[in-house]
Structure 1
Amino acid sequence: MHQILIAGGGIAGLAAALASHRAGWQVRLHERANAFGEVGAGVQLGPNAVRCLDAWGLAAPLRALACRPPLLQVRSALDGRELARMRLGREMSERHGGDYLTIHRADLHGALLSAVQDLTEVQLQLQHELLDFTEDDAAVRTRLRCADGHELQVESDVLLGADGLHSRVRALLPGVAGELPVGHLAYRAVVAQQALPAPLRSQVVTAWLGPGLHLVHYPLRAGELLNLVAIRHGQPPAGLQGWDCAASESQLLAALDGTCAPLQDLVRAAGQAGGVWRLWPLAERAPVAGAHEMAQGRVALAGDAAHAMRPYLAQGAGMAIEDAMQLQRALAMEALEPPLRLRRYALARWQRVAAVQRRSRRNGRIFHAVGPVRLARDLSLRLLGERILDVPWLYRGGPVPKGE
């Protein structure tokens, strides 16, 4: 039986572990942290990702934890008016063959972890830091450092780097660029809906668009929680340590100066209701330029390690899950040697993820538009509504249209 070594125990790594097992491979997953877990708050999962999760047998646990919002609405952050809406719920499922779900990142991670923990052909290892690797025609040999400082070498047929934005595996591949700062700051908080004033509670996905900023909120955990994400242009405060830090509500409110009262009221109420704001400086990778950036020889990349993207299409987790499903299909090609299977994986993925990266960048420019461009955006949304908001090629998993 072939063996895959996966570096990274986040959503991308666990999805790849489950998919590789279903392809008939032995799996060794190595995580450098001392516990399996996810930092963050909410995740939006489009039908393209939900179909994969359902195919892996996760339909029941997902829907026990996730929300199925009936609607996505877009509002002006300046005056609060609704600009457009898109039907989700049953209508989205009928249009695109899968549900649109919102879920706490920790709940999604937990569902994937639970699915792989008891699989006999999957070994999960904590506090194993990948140092480097070598490969030849027969195998890839990965050197790891354990918690007590000693090193071990593990031989496998392939190595998958699912180790996130600052991927060590990606850094060791020739000709693959690293991450880039975006110049945008994300403020995130989760609050109990019951602790909010009734007019501020919501069971739909809402995006408030303003000059140089936007805020999105949506329900989590059967609607008991509200996830809020505000993103503005700006550089991290001086002396900021790490990428997940305590945020100042006053700084966020200062950035929202000039926006409508309901939006500012929501931010204030979130803090009063016990929500704790966290700050993330955004980073990305340039759109994938070719299959060689996702697989070389016996080594491949998945998730943020391969294609970290701006969050303006809500597809970061979705693309990692799609990666895993395509990896499953490629690893199951028994007539091919492992390097050729990884090549098939990369050829099937790179153009699609690059298109999603480009669309995410473009959405950010549209969301944060100023002046005449903002006025034209608002008019287009009011006139065309769902026809602008829907992305059929993405949600249905079809070919990427020309121009994307």
Structure 2
Amino acid sequence: MGNELLIAGGGIGGLAAAVAATRAGWSARVFEQAQTFSEVGAGIQLGPNATRILRDWGLLEGPLAERVVHPQRLVVCDAVDGGALGGLRLDDFEARYGAPYLTVHRADLHAALFGTAVASGVPLHVATAVSSLLETGDCVRVTCPGRADAEGDALVGADGLWSTVRAHVAGSEAPRYTGHLAYRGLLPFAAGGAASAQVTAWLGPRMHMVTYPVAGGEFLNVVCIVEGPQPSGDARSWDHEGVREQLFSSLGRICSEVRRQLESVAQWRLWPLNGRPRVASAAQMAKGRVALLGDAAHPMLPYLAQGAGMAIEDARELQRVLSVADGRVIDVETALQRYALSRWQRCARVQARSLRNATIFHAGGPLRIARNLSMRVLGEKLLDLPWLYGH
């Protein structure tokens, strides 16, 4: 019987890990605490660093091919005066980086990963939370309330920012609120106006808004991030009901186009942004037969659009190390340590760049003036990131 990977969490990262494990010749089992396998949220931007992996797995074919969008450009504008600051061609990324830049609804990507995992024979358990774990020599045993304990050769914690598995690897310190609130909504594509076929970022003091097409071009995804106090309710939820009046009361002066698009959204969902310090060593990503993946290891603030991308990269590296973990030349513990050593510095760099972008995007006063001038002079050079997309 071959090796088996246990996976805590059935979101995009967990299902990507399951696909990766089967590609490595392992079997996998996924334990999801929610009642159903589904994905909340709205859009995702996927750079070539992620889409080349999805293509290698065969996911950019079939139903998902009809649901992704190939935006032609990224355009950055000032949210106060409406002026264009800079842009980047996205329609030539295939030629430059060997894979496309895509936008997609989270639910569509999740469904594609789910279908691939099911087709690969991966058992998917819902309403099954991993509450504790124990390494016992040559296996990992997990306890799930209401179910018999499960054993596998390794465990991956892909159970998100509030991960239970994380405590075994990197300690149990709770995430902290960042002071930023993400309001998410969808517009029918036609309501987005002429800019609907591109990714548009509007930068303003203490706020920014990003729009791009999803769902095969049926909708325009709208995300507006503002600074403000932490809302009441479950801090772990990233799907609070967003209140229009609270969003607009958080905004300063904005141009008419930004206001028009915000006013056109019929329903808002609210995601309070919590985070952790950036990952500081390989020891924070793997210990023994247990490894962390995605937000459980290195939560990303959404200022570089790489949360899903880093989880997919993690899964691909996991595939590489599991494929050579034969228990003779390379054991499971060594393979997972190689995974952590390969991933932690890159993930830390992306976390740091995301945090830096938060300051730049929300700049006011002299910093806003300097940002706008730099963007107008060096636009494409600042926006293109070969170190990120060419990975």
TM range (shorter): over 0.9
**For 2:373 and 2:234, how far apart are their aligned partners in 1?**
39
* 1:200–1:266 Cα contact (<8 Å) kept: no
- In structure 2, relative to structure 1, the CA distance for the partners of 1:240 and 1:200 (3 Å cut) is farther
Shift of 1:177: 4.3
Shift of 1:359: 0.3
What SS is found at the alignment partner of 1:325?
helix
Match of 2:282 among 282, 291, 298: 291
Query: Does 2:159 correspond to 1:166?
Result: no
Shift of 1:118: 2.2
Amino acid in the other structure paired with 2:258: L
| Equivalent residue, structure 2, for 1:401 | none
Shift of 1:176: 6.2
* 1:253–1:264 Cα contact (<8 Å) kept: no
Match of 1:179 among 171, 175, 188: 175
Shift of 1:126: 1.2
Match of 1:264 among 252, 255, 259: 259
| Equivalent residue, structure 2, for 1:325 | 316
Shift of 1:257: 3.5
After TM superposition, the score normalised by the length of structure 2 is 0.95
Query: What do the CA deviations read for 1:50-94 (whole angstroms, capped 9, x no partner)?
Result: 0000000112133211000000000000010100000001x1222
**For 2:20 and 2:89, how far apart are their aligned partners in 1?**
31
* 2:228–2:250 Cα contact (<8 Å) kept: no
* 1:288–1:350 Cα contact (<8 Å) kept: yes
Shift of 1:199: 3.6
* 2:187–2:264 Cα contact (<8 Å) kept: no
Shift of 1:236: 2.4
* 1:139–1:158 Cα contact (<8 Å) kept: yes
Q: Unpaired segments of 5 or more residues in structure 2?
A: none
Q: Unpaired segments of 5 or more residues in structure 1?
A: 398-404
Query: What do the CA deviations read for 1:174-217 (whole angstroms, capped 9, x no partner)?
Result: 546442211100100012123x2x74661100000000100000
Query: Does 2:278 correspond to 1:282?
Result: no
After TM superposition, the score normalised by the length of structure 1 is 0.92
| Equivalent residue, structure 1, for 2:229 | 235
Amino acid in the other structure paired with 2:277: A
How many aligned residue pairs are there?
A: 385
* 1:171–1:178 Cα contact (<8 Å) kept: no
Query: Does 2:71 correspond to 1:69?
Result: yes
* 2:68–2:215 Cα contact (<8 Å) kept: yes
Superposed, 1:3-402 pairs within 5 Å as 3-61=4-62, 62-89=64-91, 91-120=92-121, 122-145=122-145, 150-175=146-171, 177-194=173-190, 196=191, 199=193, 202-238=196-232, 242-271=237-266, 276-333=267-324, 334=326, 335-397=329-391
Query: What do the CA deviations read for 1:231-254 (whole angstroms, capped 9, x no partner)?
Result: 011112345674421111122222
Shift of 1:171: 2.4
**For 1:233 and 1:104, how far apart are their aligned partners in 2?**
25
**For 1:352 and 1:174, how far apart are their aligned partners in 2?**
18
Residue identity over aligned pairs, in percent, reads: 49
**For 1:254 and 1:359, how far apart are their aligned partners in 2?**
29
* 2:169–2:286 Cα contact (<8 Å) kept: no
- In structure 2, relative to structure 1, the CA distance for the partners of 1:83 and 1:153 (3 Å cut) is same
- In structure 2, relative to structure 1, the CA distance for the partners of 1:239 and 1:32 (3 Å cut) is closer
Amino acid in the other structure paired with 2:136: D
**For 2:30 and 2:233, how far apart are their aligned partners in 1?**
34
What SS is found at the alignment partner of 1:278?
strand
* 1:284–1:309 Cα contact (<8 Å) kept: yes
- In structure 2, relative to structure 1, the CA distance for the partners of 1:51 and 1:248 (3 Å cut) is same
Please, what is the CA RMSD of the aligned residues? 1.4
What SS is found at the alignment partner of 1:130?
coil
